[in-house]
Amino acid sequence: MSFSAETALEYLERAHRKNRLAHAYLISGPAGSGKSEVAARLAALLNKTTPEKVLHAQAPDVFMTEPASRSRKIVVDQIRGLERALQLRSAGNHKKIGIIRDADRMQTQAANAFLKTLEEPPQNSILLLLTALPEALPETIVSRCLSLPLHSSSEVPRSPQEEELLRLLCATAQEKPHGIERAYRVSQGMQSLLNAIRDQIRNDHAEALKREETRYRQTTDGGWLSEREDYYKALTESVYREWRSRLIETLFLWWADVLRAKVGENGRLLKSCAKATEKIAAQMRTVDVLKRIRRLEEMRDHLNTTAQEALVLEVGCLHIFR
């Protein structure tokens, strides 16, 4: 059973009024489900501050931890730093609140260190773990937290490109397990979709610039046109990156459902692909599914830091889909 963000917050508020808050909560759900909002609003309620200050790490006695290393992992030093902060004396009647974003990205050493904190929580503290992949967390951590699974507040319709990518993934699921051909097809399909998206964005922005040029040609100098060209060039790249992120998020949803099928969890995010993701799950070990999710995270991070998009996609898909 999953909750809306508002229902989850109401539950936490009732527990607070009755002085029955647990020492640790695992708040899980897909992107857009409101995990950070629930954590920020609860922290704001407990320590009489604002959610905005919590989210910007400006609230007293609220300590935020998230992937920050070059590998986009939560490392053991971060967890030890959080533990030291939670041991400090709080101001007034404040609770000491630790919020861990993307908790599933804790390295093994970090997870082991955090387990000790869960087993012996500092006095007057509360821990909030946020994740889109609770199945990727060690069972020893999950079992020591009270689970609050969230669902998306509203169904965002998928774009034709996202639907096309899902059709491609479902089709390749019928092919030979771990084949290079499958990885190549996904890589080429992704690149084809992205090329079409970029071309469409460029065409739309070229038309918008042309309309502006026609309208203001007689009232502005040539410097204005150069500035608008730079503006639309930057806007094209920004919109394109947003679309690319949406396709990458679709891949995350796919592999999250594979993992859920593998560990026997209900609640598929892509119900139309249930048979395909279950077939992939049957062909793999849990550790192999987790390894591919990590490879997908690496591919996403590389795409955000390099211009060699085609190469990153090709190499990434070889690791993820072969």
pLDDT in tens, the chain (322 residues): 678 899 999 999 999 999 999 999 999 988 788 999 999 999 999 999 999 999 988 999 999 999 875 667 899 999 999 999 999 887 777 899 999 999 998 999 999 999 999 999 999 999 999 998 888 899 999 999 999 999 875 556 789 999 999 999 999 998 765 578 889 999 999 999 999 999 999 999 999 888 877 776 665 556 667 788 888 889 999 899 889 988 998 999 999 999 999 998 877 888 899 999 999 999 999 999 999 998 998 898 888 777 689 999 999 999 999 8
Angle at 292 between CA 104 and CA 2, to 5 degrees: 45
Q: In sequence order, what are the residues at sequence separation of 6 or more whose Cβ sits closer than 8 angstroms to the Cβ of residue 5?
A: 33, 34, 35, 37, 38, 150, 153
Closest CA to 312 of 240, 248, 227, 233: 248
Global pTM? 0.70
**Residue 197 corresponds to which amino acid?**
I
The DSSP output letter for 58 is: -
For the chain, the domains span: 5-149, 160-196+244-321
Q: CA neighbours within 13 Å on the CB side: how many for 148? A: 25
Closest CA to 318 of 166, 170, 178: 178
Please name the helix (run of DSSP H) or strand (run of DSSP E) that holds residue 50, with its range, or none: none
Using CA atoms, how far apart are residues 322 and 319, in angstroms rounded to an integer? 6
Q: For residue 171, how many other CB atoms are within 10 A of its CB?
A: 14
**Residue 135 corresponds to which amino acid?**
E
Using CA atoms, how far apart are residues 14 and 249, in angstroms rounded to an integer? 34
CATH architecture classification, 5-149? 3-Layer(aba) Sandwich (3.40)
Task: State CA 313 to chain mean position distance.
Answer: 19
Burial of 251 (0-12, 13-18, 19+ CB in 10 A): buried
Using CA atoms, how far apart are residues 275 and 297, in angstroms rounded to an integer? 24
CATH class name, domain 160-196+244-321: mainly alpha
The DSSP output letter for 90 is: P
End-to-end CA distance of the chain: 34
- Note the helical H segments in the chain: 5-17, 35-47, 51-55, 76-87, 108-119, 139-142, 160-172, 180-216, 222-263, 274-282, 286-303, 309-321
- Can you give the pLDDT at residue 266? 78
